[in-house]
Structure 1
Amino acid sequence: MKRGTMIGGTYQVLEPLGKGGQSEVWLVLHKRICSLLALKRIPLRARWPRGELDYARHLDHPGLPRIYDVFEAEGYICIVMEYLEGKTLEQLKQEKGSFSEKELLLWLRQLSEILEYLHSRTPPLIHGDIKPSNLMIGPGGRLVLLDFGACLSLGKEKRERYGTKVFAAPEQLDEKLELDIRSDFYSAGKTFRFLSGGKESPGFRRFLDICMQEDRSRRFSDDRKLQRRLLRVCRKGKRNCLLFSFLAVFLLFFGSIIHIRRQNRTAEEQYQILMESSQTEELVSAIRLFPDREAAYQKLLQIDLLDQVFTREESRKLEEILGSWGEKLEKEAYGDLAYELGIAYWYYFQQAEGKNYAGVWFERALEGGLTPERQKKAKIYRELGSYCEKKTRQELSGEGALNWKGFFEAICACCVENSQESVPALLRERLQEELLSLCYDGLLYFRDNGITETELQELVEELKNMAPGKQAEAFSVTEESVQALYAGHTFTEEGGRKDEK
């Protein structure tokens, strides 16, 4: 496989992690959740144990990597599993040459716990390929059993065996014989005899000899008996074992810190790469990585508004994201984002209910830590949006009373607060058009609720100054309508006038 190619429609190949026999392991990136995983690829065979692999996906033990996916692609079976940083016992032996018996006993006890978990499943699951290259020491110093490519459920029909010959039990090499949990005991004994180099204490030697009996009836019959005998071996060196236990705890703690730092560094690198993108899914992945950072949310909103339209689909997607991860943001960051979302609904939303939605988000913005200037504007927008919603409801159903004087004051305040040069010209032009329309529609109500002609004329003049030269015809009609209204005339929707009776 080549770096950057996609496999299974979801996983992007990054780099090789290892190779052995006919299999190969690659580091891959899950594109949807932006997570690093390990993918093992093995040539597809007619009687591959797919059922056992699917069964293994449900295992949950700290000594086993999680299996997330199993699928076939390009003549291979692919097993996607948790990516763990660490070294196998085969690699460590090549580097160190030998291990102390205390180290070996600690790892063997951990392996026995893992095997007990596998063998206690219903039906029991036989690993089938225990060997040094399948035993990893993870970041916390914990032994992890890798590779379920040869696993087999106890009692299943005979099938081709995939274990490694050097470490496989005699019955595993004879297709006429059934396997059972004692086959794993043999491979474990053979593995630790290899790791010890044949230099064991008498008790440890006898333990491994029992595991490796050719006649499996002479091996340990179950996991509990194996563990009890192993515990007696460890107790003979109780003081040293205790000292090594303290060391193991220290390594676990220290290794965990290193692992967390590495994970954080990797996540930060992924985040920076994703933030360079202008694709929605990439930015959503950045939010998943660090939901407490405001930048990805803001960039996503900016991209949605590049065409100066905020669609229903875009708004729904952004609200879902905020519903899932927005609570991770700090109060001030959430307030700023809610304010920007309110502006998006107010000016750019395609449907008429945009101002109603805007009012909701301005309300949420006020609960955050806005600057005094934004807080003042958010209150004005909220009030004006509330009046617009009440006005629409009254026109449609005739229900509810509207405070027209308060409505007029909200229009005036919104006009004053958005007349500054600091407000983008496009927003001033759009707001000018909207406020002038609201003003014109409410002229009769304003007059009947005590608003003077002078006050109305001053508002119209303020609106003119928001975006000079714009809406000239509409302003002319509005000014004539104000004069006619206060001269004892009413006016039609077309701007003409007629005498009041």
Structure 2
Amino acid sequence: MAIIGTLIEGKYEILKLIGKGGMSEVYLAMDKNLNKQWAVKEIKKRARDKNNEVVVQSAIAEANMMKKLDHPCLPRIVDIIDKEDVIYVVMDYIEGEPLNKVLERDGAQPQETVIEWAEELCGVLDYLHMQNPPIIYRDMKPANIMLQPNGNIKLIDFGIAREYKEHNLEDTVSLGTKGYAAPEQFGGKGQTDQRTDIYCLGVTLYHLVTGKNPCEPPYEIYPIRYWNPNLSSGLESIILKCTRINPEERYQSCAELLYAILHYEEADETYQKKQKKKLYTFYGMLLAAVVSLGIGITGQLLQRHVKNNDYDNLLLQAEKSATDEEKIEIYLEAVDIKPTDTKAYLGLIAAFKDDAVFTVEEENEFKKKINNNLSGLREQDDYADLAYEIGRLYWYYYDYGKTDTSDNQITRIKSSVQWFSDAYDYGSEESDYHLITQVYKEIGQFTRDVTLNVEEASDKGTYAPYFQNLEDLLEIVDGEDSEIVNLEVYKLCLDSIENYARKFKSDGIEESRIQAFYQDVLDRNDAVDTTTDKTDEIKQQILERKDAAQDAIKNAYSEQ
């Protein structure tokens, strides 16, 4: 057990114990270098203890998995310290309390609040399922959802996100928590997949909205209105479908589930009765339309014309709006009219970029729209162009993880990978953007995977193509209108020299080539006339790091 006041690796000062399991403790620690609090999980190594060996390997696997992920609803792993008798995993310290404690104190949660949580949880599960390979979380339950003081939630504990053969461990459950786990997680009833997480989420929503713990009598998932008749029949139908025994009868993806949750009121009995009434009225109108078929056809054409006019008028209105907030609101309204037309999405992207910051709040609004319509958008001829612009939005403007003392360039690049991959996969090889997209995609994949590759000693041979991609990217952005785009690329190039000079040398990059690249970056940086405080700050950061990059080159190539 770590002693309060202990300094780990010369920088993490242990402040207090905040959690304890059978084979691990979690401490609050202060990073003396960054003046920032982290959570530090301590796992002891015990010789000749098979269960402990599995816990240690599970913790390392969990940490390595989490290091590749970057989502507002997930904690970040920032360091793994492997010592002779103990392992420390340093991660985000999440303030707040788990939802199981909220349920114990307050009982069933308001339906609208649960709906908001459901939207966020669908989003983060969909993000996990979109990884390559997909990550199946397997342990959704209120105890693993942290409610922060600002009202946001975080999904924690990835201890069983991969299957393990050993069972009955305290720190992790072999395949899930009974009461919440899907049938296929126990007894060899099939392979777990994304529908497993949908089942667990359905049970979790049931517990949150009814206050009835599925791990306690009657041990069944009753229709939620059995407990509270005032709850929505639409939400009841969604939860019942999530928790079907047969995975084929559940929602088949989190995107499909999210769409249902966003439209749960439309499945409500009261809403449906109103719709039936409208339907009867429609039948009467249809009969009249049959009599006047020509008028009916004309009416349809006029309605389509009006819809198109409404959409085009909204786009025009957005372009003339005085503020970014107005533009964004109008473009979101336009998306609802024609959800698979890319023009409104491109307008949103431009509005997000106007202040040079793509905030987490803007991202949440954007993802609600695009995730619901992604399958339809992918069928459009210009989807690759849209995916490319979304990738650039994340790469250069995403604000998540940025602080006054820490840049978030790696976070931005990693967040863009899925979109550049889509742009590459759905684009034409004859397109002008095909090579550019490939460069962005491969740099992003390198940034995402390099830490894990180093730990697994599989990084050799990856640095030469990465360097070539950096050279290509430098040429690609030449002449960009945006100062931020140019300067961010220059910063990435210089940081890469500083961090990987030895690796470039070992992969066969000659010193003359890297020196020419280094000088080219500085010349281009000097040629930029900055017009904002933000771009001036980036330019100065580059100048401040130039000596460190040059030293890295000299040190690397002076070694025999």
Structure with max Cα Rg: 1
TM range (shorter): 0.3 to 0.5
TM-score, length of structure 1 as denominator length: 0.43
